[in-house]
Amino acid sequence: MGSLFESLLLRLASAEGVRPKLNTGNRVAQVVDCPPSMAARILDGKALAAAVRASVKETVARLAARGVRPGLAVILAGDNPASAVYVRNKARACEETGVRSEVHRYGADVTERALLDRIAALNADPGVHGILVQLPLPGRINARRVLEAVAPAKDIDGFHFENLGALVAGQSKLVPCTPAGVMRLIEHAGVTLAGRHAVVIGRSSIVGKPLALLLLQKDATVTICHSKTMELQKLTREADVLVAAVGRPKLVTAAMVKPGACVIDVGINRLPDGTLAGDVDFDAVKNVAGWITPVPGGVGPMTIALLLENCVRAASI
């Protein structure tokens, strides 16, 4: 979340790249565009996430004046090393913004009953405003049953059916953090969505589908692509905004991108050499796109920042 001045500056900057594109009868549609030879502007998720966290910190201070301290409870079950890292990062971000956090750890042999009992206790705890169940849960556990046990008002991941249903109806209070972070990045870039074609690759319930609904709410024309989509490249080349949320390194090549498009990379893939890569071939696509998010440093930091924002929102309601 940038200041108004910052966002105006960005809009002016992007206006440099605006050029009339299509004469559609009675109105001229424009595409925020860069010449193909020009490098894309980098959408710095790290910087934007820092601004969101600063704003969360201010809200935490305002809530403190009312005697409220937002509290986040995380449930971590099993021994997935990536989950342990995510939880540690979330706890650190809480600490930095003044949100109280507690982590409830369980071994891989935890029973579903134990998790459900813990969630019931957290639902009833007035000091806990947000409950997060770190996924994946151990295989034997019915993850959906566990997610549905979280009180919708404390479901800061926005995964409960009640919150997902509210999103479909356009009346959501707690929106899944990664899609919300993607929307904030697009907004920050000053890219207009109304009337534009947004293509989302990936249809998961935590990223692709909720993101498609958020884009639709902003009046984009949305196409969702997935593993069975035919002629993927034909569709992606039509995208003014292209989001990849697949989990396949470098799936999106330069040939799949419309010149000047805003390209958002949600993917996080660990390569054999231990480095991280997104779903987009960054080095090639940056020469075609108008805007692009890096990995790491794009969507990832936004997810955590929006989680904190959801937590203070839950505490404010």
Give yes or no for a contact between 301 and 272, defined as CB atoms under 8 angstroms apart.
Answer: no
The reply on whether position 138 binds ligand NAD by CB under 6 A is no
Q: How far is the CB of 19 from ligand NAD (least distance, A)?
A: 30
| Alpha carbons 223 and 212: distance in angstroms, whole number | 8
Distances from the Cα of 213 to the Cα of 104, 161, 192, 271, 305, angstroms: 32, 15, 16, 31, 21
Q: How far is the CB of 82 from ligand NAD (least distance, A)?
A: 9
Q: How far is the CB of 69 from ligand NAD (least distance, A)?
A: 26
Beta strands 269-270 and 276-277 are antiparallel
The smaller minimum CB distance to ligand NAD, of residues 31 and 263, is found at 263
Active site residue 250: no
Part in contact with ligand NAD (CB under 6 A); list of ranges 11-19, 64-72, 98-106, 264-272: 264-272
Does a cis peptide bond (omega within 30 degrees of 0) precede residue 152?
Answer: no
The reply on whether position 266 binds ligand NAD by CB under 6 A is yes
Give yes or no for a contact between 236 and 243, defined as CB atoms under 8 angstroms apart.
Answer: no
The reply on whether position 202 binds ligand NAD by CB under 6 A is yes
* Partners of residue 31 on adjacent β-strands: 19
The reply on whether position 267 binds ligand NAD by CB under 6 A is yes
Part in contact with ligand NAD (CB under 6 A); list of ranges 59-67, 100-108, 121-129, 223-231: 223-231
The reply on whether position 179 binds ligand NAD by CB under 6 A is no
The rounded Cα 213 to chain-centroid distance in angstroms is 13
Lay out the site mask for ligand NAD across 58-97 (x = CB under 6 A, - = otherwise): ----------------------------------------
Catalytic site residue from 33, 154, 155, 157: 157
Give yes or no for a contact between 221 and 194, defined as CB atoms under 8 angstroms apart.
Answer: no
Phi, psi (rounded to 5 degrees) for 144: -60, -40
Q: How far is the CB of 86 from ligand NAD (least distance, A)?
A: 9
Rounded (10°) angle between helices 81-97 and 299-316:
60
| Alpha carbons 147 and 157: distance in angstroms, whole number | 10
The smaller minimum CB distance to ligand NAD, of residues 111 and 227, is found at 227
Among 178, 223, 236, 310, binds ligand NAD (CB under 6 A): 178
Q: Which spans of this chain sit near ligand NAD (rule: CB under 6 A)?
A: 178, 201-204, 206-208, 225-227, 229, 232, 245-248, 266-269, 299-300, 303
| Catalytically annotated residues | 90, 134, 157
